[in-house]
Amino acid sequence: MSGNTRPIEASIRTDFRDEMDYGSYLGLDALLSAQHPVSDPPHHDELLFIIQHQTTELWLKLVVHELRGVRRFLDSDDLPRALKGLARVKHIQRTITEQWSVLATLTPSEYAEFRGSLGQSSGFQSHQYRAVEFLLGNKHAGMLQVFRDKPEIHAQLAQLLQEPTVYDAFLRLLARRGHPVPAEILDRDVTQAWTEHPELIAVFKTIYEDPHAHWELYEACEDLVDIEDAFQLWRFRHLRTVQRTIGFKTGTGGSSGVGFLKRALDLTFFPELISVRTEIDGPLGA
Ligand code: HEM
Ligand SMILES: N[C@@H](CC(=O)c1ccccc1NC=O)C(=O)O
């Protein structure tokens, strides 16, 4: 017998006729038959393009699930569990940002060979990406238009638009814990995109100037900043991958392409958590 063969132990199960097995639990039949290249003749690299999107969408599904959880935990004053959810989101963000390097192996020549088959489809139509943006505060009612022919998705996003964001939930928790968050912020119209409220900077200054007195809140603030940073890194890698793949061509979704994506790099979810940094004074006033 070859020394490199591992025997199947007698106790390992091989008969699953009456039981759930790996593939059925994971829905692998559906998952692995959900890649449908459209290029004709079939282009070798289209499978990479599809799987890159599908894996990102799977992770986005979990990000939406976790952010909803985080919001719920904040609402019920369970800050430790909210922090745990935020930590998980950060790791997912790192993973989907890192995986841009796989798609970056697609050369402009290879992509050009099947780009024409993609029609007008575009990441602009990713409803899960839009859900993450809404949960984090970049609300935009106009984006719902993209989904007007998909009633279920439209309804889900319309619902999220009406609901408070993770940041709204955090500010409400701060108020419940005695921090002076102005009432007009707590009662804001949550369907609108967040805009900077300079009155909040003093609230965060209190926390940042005495972290030990407000440790959990301080950690939560830093987690939110981590998530904002990680989101921007994802956007930046997308932009750079797009630029090296299609240069300055207009997008299949109808936008200017790189110019449109660049403008998203100026967006910020939690502007006061950035602004407070300018205001933090140490014991020597530095
Ligand atoms: C070679 C690969 C890619 C190219 C050339 C590309 C190009 C573009 C362009 C030009 C846009 C602007 C909208 C448009 O006019 O189409 C866009 C938007 C978008 N793409 Fe991609 N993309 C690529 C890969 C991906 C991947 C792998 C994802 C992952 C899901 C993705 C997600 C998105 C999202 C979510 C938007 C909307 C961004 C926003 O609204 O700010 N893209 N993409
Ligand atoms: N907007 C891309 C096309 C594209 O990337 C795409 C096409 C179909 C499904 C998802 C896509 N991904 C992200 O935008 C382009 O202009 O080439």
- Kindly list the domain boundaries of the chain, sorted by start residue: 43-278
Q: Determine the atom of ligand 2 nearest the C-alpha atom of 246.
A: 17
Return the ligand number nearest the Cα of 125.
1
User: Helix or strand or coil: residue 42?
Assistant: coil
Question: From ligand 2's centre to the CA of 198, what distance in Å?
Answer: 38
Mutate to test the pocket of ligand 1, among 261, 262, 267 (most ligand atoms within 8 A of CB): 261
Mutate to test the pocket of ligand 1, among 242, 248, 256 (most ligand atoms within 8 A of CB): 242
For 91-94, the CB contacts below 8 A with 24+ separation are: 92/59, 92/62, 92/63, 92/66, 93/63, 93/227, 93/230, 93/231, 93/233, 93/234, 94/230
Domain 43-278 has CATH 2.10.109.10: no
Q: Determine the atom of ligand 2 nearest the C-alpha atom of 115.
A: 17
| pLDDT tens by residue, 200-227 | 999 999 999 999 999 999 999 999 999 9
| pLDDT tens by residue, 38-94 | 999 999 999 999 999 999 999 999 999 999 999 999 999 999 999 999 999 999 999
Q: Whose CA is nearest to atom 5 of ligand 2?
A: 122
Task: Specify the pTM.
Answer: 0.95
Q: Give me the interface pTM, i.e. the ipTM.
A: 0.97
Confidence of residue 7 (pLDDT cuts 50, 70, 90): confident
